[in-house]
Structures are given as structure tokens and as C-alpha cells.
Structure 1
């Protein structure tokens, strides 16, 4: 893998779709970049970052479109984000979706990293591009931020969803191009900033996803974790323990001994390495049980006794005490309210 890493074939599709719309010779551009014309069509194919950069340079030059990257967001779809896109469809809120992005974005590629920062009572969803060379860097940033907005609108079913403002590190373009940026983002866009980000009120992050699917989420996350391992991308021990617990919970209470054995270590080593990450077995188990309980209370009418049994509590009172200790509400109050207070 080069210093620019790799990207998934799905991530290429937006760029090629826009190029096709413009009437560009995309097979020739792929060949010029050192790629086989059918390579982006293979679902599990990975493309070297250097080849991807050469392809974008070629398409940007041939298109004559100064906002090539911005315009590619019109072609966003779940497959553009690999399995991560489907994971984001299966959670409950935009905040949870972004948390999954930060966990699994390397499945999409090594183009950059995401974080959420809270400043002056505003949430900043920032993207840090790994590609230093222009004009590719500028077009990648435009693509990622505008695609995020389009996908968030689709996830929530809210076509009017928009940030309060957008920050871009680029030099300010002509007034005509600024107007086009603001038309795409539906808000003011500020240039020559220290970083690039979508900025908005924190409560926007709590907007619900329109069709959450907790059962599918568990399956998709197991698949994503396995794919990260196949790519040689290291995941933390706590992430792997979480997945082991999720795989077992609902069937039987997972045993530390079984999880340690599955991960190829003994109990003492498991505890020591989790402590190194600032985690513990009990903390992870409690967090996952709480998440599962919330999902079941939100999305089913199962009796609390059934939920307590499914999550491995000794009885309903243990479940109720634990739930109230962590949330300040009883399970019944949470179900009635439908959300955290």
C-alpha cells in the first residue's frame, strides 16, 4: 500500500458517474491512470491511492468543471460508502451514524479522517484530507462534505436539512462559484478557514434515522469488522470485545472466558489490555446491554421480563435498577418518552 493508501471501488462511482454525465471518456481516463476499465465495477476491489489521484487529476482537467468534486455529490448512494453506508442506515440517530463513520471509514478508503468537535455550542463535523496535492485535495473535500449532507438528508428523510454554515480551507473563488457552493449546502460558506467542516446546532445530530434496524446493524458490523481484519487494519481490543459481546447477547450472557479464548488470550491478559485502553469487561458489557435495552424498548413491545432475560439479567429488578442507574429513568419511563431525557 502506498503512502496514500487505497480506496474502495464503490467510492469511485460518484466521480465516474459525474464524468459520464459530462460525456468524458471514462474508460480512457481509467487506463491512463493505470486502472483496468472494469476495476471499479468489482464490489470488493481496492484502488491504490496514487492511481486514484491520477484518475481525478485527469477527470478534473478534462471536465473543465471548477466544482467537479462538489457536483459529484448528486450521485451519492449507500454503496458509495461500502458497508459503512448500510451501517449508517441501520442506527437510530445522525450522531450514531457519524460514530460508525469514524469507526469504519477506512473501509471506504484512506482519503481522510472524520471527527466531531463542539465549539461555542456548535457541532463541527470535520474532515481531514490526507491528499496534499492540488487540485485533487480541494475536490475531495468538496465531495466529502457535500456528499455527507446529501446522505444525511436521505437518511433522515428531510430534504430541507442543512448546516448553519460550512467551513472550507480553500481560497475564496469567484462570487459566482461561491453562490453555487451556497446553493448546494443551503447555507453560508466561509473560505480560507483552518479546517473544513459542516457546522450546526448539536440537536441536529439527534435527528432520527428513518428506518433503523438493530438486528441488521449487528450483522453488518460483524461483516465490517471482519473486512477491516482482512485488509490488515488494526482494530482496538475493546472494539473486538464489543463485537464478541454483541454476537452472544440475546442468546446467552457472554462469558469472559469464552470471549478471551475466541480472541486468543487468557482472562488476565484480556483485563490488562482492556485497562490499557481505559476500558473494562463490565463497562463494555453494561454499555452494550444498555444500548440493546434502549433499542428493544424503542422498537418493540416486548415485556420488560423478556428484555431482562434476553440481556442476561438475573431478574427484572436487576434490569430495572441497572437501567435507572445509567439513564435516570425506569425502562417504563424511557419507553413512554421514546428517548433519553
Structure 2
């Protein structure tokens, strides 16, 4: 495993935002990009100096000072990785911000996020204890935070104040327009200040059962990020997402990882496992979360996890755990 730079790292899913935006807005520039698009996945991480170089090259190619804000405006949940899906399944923005603080290291591990309450305001603050990534990196990061927040809620709510630790750029009016507030520069911290009432705003479509499963998966991924344990970067996430989408097949997971089915099979064989075994383990772990949540019937769980029927789900669960789903659920409730 490569040693991380002092400035930290970000996930490949996050970096793919730049590539997605270029393909959409500047396809001719995208074809000249000298950097390879990274394979998405929380455990496939890009060092900040490389991210800086990508953004610097893009600016030189476009000469557009509003570039970081345009990139940020293009963000989708997939670019936030598993954190994006976890946040999307929360009940309100307060829960989503708590997940952001809890799982930030999965997506954007640079300077640590600190959350403070002051009067009727909530302040999200980043210092410079690990260094200063610079204007492009910080502007995309804060822009993504605000743009993604707007994706989560039905009615847009913008910050009261935004401040950057970096010097004022040549186009401060673009920042005022993007954030819909007066943006400061050259501050002691980078900050985003919201009304505390924002925390109670409901999300568009919270899903409590899916949130429980994704939260558990995010916890496991976070441990793997810290320990560097995942042998095929992004595999567990791609597998879990394919199950959630009702398409738990080798070809679907390979597509999500941007590799051929043959390559994925070979990598799994090299690890002494198979797609079928890995799929069964992931399904059972997801089933355990559903059973503990207690919100779904066995038939619903079987359908959610893309089993052919309840009987197939019951047999698979018992084969892995040694007990039936119903017995497992009763044991956990005692």
C-alpha cells in the first residue's frame, strides 16, 4: 500500500466527479486529459497532490476561474461513494451531517471537520493542521458539500456565511452567486455556517431499512480504509450496491468496478474465493441488518436481497449462519 501524503487523500468516486463533468461540459478537453480515470471505490484512494495536479491541469486547459464551482455543481450521490448513499437514506439533514462527520474519512480525508453550535447557527469548520491543499481543492470540496446538501432536500436552503482559508480569487462574485451569500476569504479557518433549523429539514425520501444496511457497510469499509484490508478496491461496495439494485450478478459487479468479468473472476480466484461465496456472505450480512431492524417480513427481505423466493433466502441464510432467519431474529430480540 502506498504511503499517504501529509495532505491526506480522497476517494476515487470523488475524483470521478471531475471526469464526469469534463465529459459532460467539455468532451474535447476530456479526451486530452493526461490522467487516467480511477476505478471508483472508497478503498481506491487518490493522494491530494495528484488531485491538485488534475485540477491544475484542467484549469490550464480551460482558463475558467469558476471551474471548481462548476465541477461541484455536477455532484451526484455516486461521487460521494457509500457516504452519499448513507446520507441519502437519513431522515433529516441533522442525521446526514452526523454521517458526514462520522464517515468523512471514506470520501475526503484531509483536514478534520469540526462541528460547533453558536446561537441559532451550526458551524462546519476545517483548519489547516495537515496543511493547505489550496484554492482549487478547497473550493471544489466546499462547493460539493453545499451542492450535495441541495440534492438531499426538496427545498434549497443555502448557507448564511461561507469563508475560505485561502486568499481571495480573481472572481469572488462567482462564489457569492454559487453559495447565495457573501463569501469571505483569507480567514483563520474554512467555514460553512447554516441556520440550525436546517438540521430538522426532512430529506426527499428516507429509507430506514436501507440506511441501516448501508450504515453497517460504511462502518466495515471505514475499518478497511484504516487497515488497508480490502484486496479488490471497491468490490464489497459494488457487490452490496448490486444486491440493493436487484442485480447481484458477476457482470453487474464487474461493470460497477469498470473491469471485465474474466478479470474479476481471476482476482477473486487469486484471493481464494469466488463470486458466489462473496455474494452469499454480503447477502447474509445485509439480511442480518434487516432482521435486527425488524421492519420487514422474511418475504420482503428475500425480495429486497434479490432472492428468487423466501425459501431460497431461508436456505442460504441457514447455510451460512447455521440458524434460520426467524430463529436469528428471535435470538437478537431476547
Return the TM-score normalized by structure 1. Answer: 0.61
Query: Which residue of structure 1 lines up, in the alignment, with residue 47 of structure 2?
Result: 48
Distance 1:157 1:310, change over 3 A: farther
Distance 1:164 1:42, change over 3 A: closer
SS at match of 1:157: coil
| Mapped pair 1:16 → 2:19 | yes
Query: Which residue of structure 2 lines up, in the alignment, with residue 77 of structure 1?
Result: 76
C-alpha distance in 1 between matches for 2:26 and 2:129: 27
Query: Which residue of structure 2 lines up, in the alignment, with residue 58 of structure 1?
Result: 57
| Mapped pair 1:158 → 2:162 | no
Give the count of matched residue pairs. 237
C-alpha distance in 2 between matches for 1:246 and 1:22: 43
C-alpha distance in 1 between matches for 2:39 and 2:67: 19
Distance 1:310 1:162, change over 3 A: farther
C-alpha distance in 1 between matches for 2:126 and 2:183: 15
C-alpha deviations, 1:248-275, integer Å up to 9, x for none?
Answer: 7446xxxxxxxxxxxxxxxxxxxxxxxx
Instruction: Compute the displacement of 1:72 (Å).
Output: 0.9
C-alpha distance in 1 between matches for 2:108 and 2:121: 28
Distance 1:98 1:42, change over 3 A: closer
Instruction: Compute the displacement of 1:83 (Å).
Output: 0.3
Instruction: Compute the displacement of 1:164 (Å).
Output: 1.4
Higher Cα radius of gyration: 1
Unaligned runs of 5+ in 2: 229-287, 295-329
Distance 1:78 1:205, change over 3 A: same
Distance 1:169 1:47, change over 3 A: closer
C-alpha deviations, 1:282-303, integer Å up to 9, x for none?
Answer: xxxxxxxxxxxxxxxxxxxxxx
| Mapped pair 1:220 → 2:214 | yes
SS at match of 2:155: coil
Query: Which residue of structure 2 lines up, in the alignment, with residue 125 of structure 1?
Result: 124
C-alpha deviations, 1:280-332, integer Å up to 9, x for none?
Answer: xxxxxxxxxxxxxxxxxxxxxxxxxxxxx99959xxxxxxxxxxxxxxxxxxx
| Mapped pair 1:199 → 2:201 | no
Pick aligned residue for 1:139 from 120, 136, 142: 136
Task: Report the more deviating stretch, 208-217 or 20-29.
Answer: 20-29
Contact 1:8 / 1:44 at 8 angstroms: preserved in 2?
yes
Contact 1:9 / 1:41 at 8 angstroms: preserved in 2?
yes
Distance 1:129 1:12, change over 3 A: farther
Instruction: Compute the displacement of 1:62 (Å).
Output: 2.3
Distance 1:110 1:162, change over 3 A: same
C-alpha distance in 1 between matches for 2:34 and 2:177: 31
Contact 2:42 / 2:82 at 8 angstroms: preserved in 1?
no
SS at match of 2:109: coil
| Mapped pair 1:190 → 2:211 | no
Q: CA RMSD in A?
A: 3.1
Distance 1:170 1:232, change over 3 A: closer
Query: Which residue of structure 2 lines up, in the alignment, with residue 279 of structure 1?
Result: none
Instruction: Compute the displacement of 1:203 (Å).
Output: 0.9
C-alpha distance in 1 between matches for 2:103 and 2:41: 20
Unaligned runs of 5+ in 1: 32-36, 235-244, 252-308, 314-341
C-alpha distance in 2 between matches for 1:250 and 1:213: 12
C-alpha distance in 1 between matches for 2:213 and 2:175: 38
